[in-house]
Amino acid sequence: MASRIVLLDTNALLMPFQFRVNLETELTRLMGSADIAIPRPVRIELELLAERDRNAQAALRLAARYRVIEASGSADDALLDLGASHRAVVVTNDQPLLDRLRAAGIPRIFLRSRNHLVAEGL
């Protein structure tokens, strides 16, 4: 069986540097094998943040490990669209986005207690 696509939001890429959460270890714990990817608008958002934020610079280096999926629109809209069309899991800590994902029935992973990830809707 093919690995499920896991899409990372900008704040998911920042988690290792803000909260010392090992993103890959946590995703493996929750998902087993996963095809981790980043929508193009998320990459662009991260590049803009990296111009002025040290954590974002580190997150941009982390993001280089993962493939970029072409998408248009805002980062949030791209995550919603790709989550639905690819039956992907979205990793974010953005509450308004989590609410939109939940309403759309898209599986999501988010930070709990500032030290581990939890999955919902898998």
Q: Domain extents for the chain?
A: 4-120
pLDDT value for 2? 58
Alpha helices in the chain (DSSP H): 10-18, 23-31, 40-50, 54-63, 75-85, 95-104
Model confidence at 122, pLDDT cuts 50, 70, 90, reads confident
CA distance 58 to 84: 29
pLDDT at 113 over 50: yes
CA distance 113 to 58: 23
- Tokens for 33, please give them: 């094998």
What is the DSSP-derived secondary structure letter of residue 36? E
pLDDT value for 1? 44
pLDDT value for 72? 93
Max CA distance (Å), the chain: 42
How many of the other CB atoms lie within 10 Å of CB of 7? 28
- Tokens for 98, please give them: 């989590």
Superfamily, domain 4-120: 5'-nuclease (3.40.50.1010)
Could you report the per-residue pLDDT of 7-66, keeping only the tens digit for each? 999 999 999 999 999 999 999 999 988 899 999 999 999 999 999 999 999 999 999 999
pLDDT at 4 over 60: yes
The rounded percent of the chain whose pLDDT value lies above 90 is 92
Angle at alpha carbon of residue 95, lines to 19 and 14, rounded to 5°: 30
